[in-house]
Structure 1
Amino acid sequence: MTTPTTAATPAEDFEGQYVGTLVDRWDELINWDRRRASEQDFFVALLNGAEAHRVLDVAAGTGYHSVALAQQGFDVTAADGSAQMIEQTRRNATAHGQSFRVLQADWRSLRHHLDGRYDAIVCLGSSFPHLFQEADRRAVLSEFYEALNPGGVLIVDHRNFDAIRRHRYQSSGNYYYCGTGATVTVAHIDAQLCRFQYDFPDGGQHHLEVYPILSTELSTLLLDAGFDTVQTFGDFQDHFDIDGVDFVIHVARKS
């Protein structure tokens, strides 16, 4: 494994990691049709169960979940820290015949960009681990909590760093990053830094660095932020082997 460079901080490096050549390929990694088939109605069922209507997608990326939820009748606002990702969200929304509010926003000052509160917030695609500092993680969860209506729900996911940190992780390719051709591997892992390597068939290569948060660590932070209950899923199942799933999903509820 490679030796890490100095860990990047989200304020300095988050947007810089999502260069245009990677953003342009992001939908290749996702493959919207295969991703929809793997998720089925998991998130829609969670949001309907919480009686949510107004939904904030705080890590919109290229817009997959924002578009999918808008198609299901939710009142969606799409936000992302990357200007290039947000521009791609706009293009994808138009291409799929959807129209919703789109904005670029730093999570740590989220309330300054929002118009009222939401019934639900989704933070998907293992985006939360872009926060390297615990103080930032706590501050952002506080922002999410304050942006929710009473009874609101926060859905946040991350790659299975429990398994990655134990060197037991092998991506199945069946969830989230469902595209064919491109491969994603772990180039480096330690307790503070995970570097993913993205290799494309034409020889293109990109790296993304994130904080490898553990499942129990995030659950504790959610409870500390004021959420009453936290339910955990592995690859959309409520019963799972922590060493055998690609992604972990946390559903936190505000009383």
Structure 2
Amino acid sequence: MIEFNKSYQANCDIFLKDLIKENIKFDLVLTDPPYNLKKDFGNNSDNLTLDEFISVSEERISDLKKLLSKNGSVIWFGIHHFIGFIQTIMYKEGLHYRRMNIWFYENGFSRSKKTLQTQYEPFLWFSENDKKWVYNVDDVRVPYKSKDRLKNPVYYKDSKGNKKKWEPNPNGAMRGDVWQFPTLSGSLYKNERTSHPTQKPESLITEIIKAFCPKNDEGFYEGTILDPFHGSGTLGVCCEKLNNEGHKIKWLGIELEKKWNDIGIQRLSEVNK
């Protein structure tokens, strides 16, 4: 019996098929798979030929589609080297493109003067349904660049020539498709950072959960979320911190390597003390 709110040490390529057999559905798949950049995760998952990378990605995305609820979404982090292949696979699997997003960070760096400094990573948003999906626009608003926007309404004409009044939302502007959050480098993030080579910041993952997780009638997040590449457990940590505020998220993580799964379990234990 598969339990929620738990991180499993397992091979996701096998575990996903077990989830399919149990007819478990997820409202959100939020994941950060190996980018195929030859990083050392303790196995060869990040060191595939292009044909191997495409083949395993096709099977995984096919399985994930079967696990989505009728209004569910996939958020898939990638790298500019290969994100186009992932996007094409998702189209072929019958998922519906919503947006290519950019995680932008100004504290990036470059190991070489022969190329551009690294300052972003893309992540895709595809939905199962082409007509209906979850996006909590007001939960992820951002401050206006100028407070002058709040002083006066703006008048415009709609498509039929009718005069309309637009007034700025007091909670801020709609979030765009560039999400600016710093990486975990430097002493400021030493308490959050683990030894995992591609750990994402909790601030970014929490914001994505707020954007795409369903809510109940009381305004609390109450969806099911899957991360088949759970790494150091950031998805679970973010969900549990939200649950400690009264939300009711059911999440499930899958991680191949015991080392990273143990780190994730330790982080979760600190949250749930």
Structure showing greater relative contact order (alpha-carbon pairs closer than 8 Å, 6 or more residues apart): 2
TM-score, normalization: structure 1? 0.35
TM-score, normalization: structure 2? 0.33
In terms of fraction of residues, the more helix-rich structure is: 1
Which of 1 and 2 has greater Rg? 2
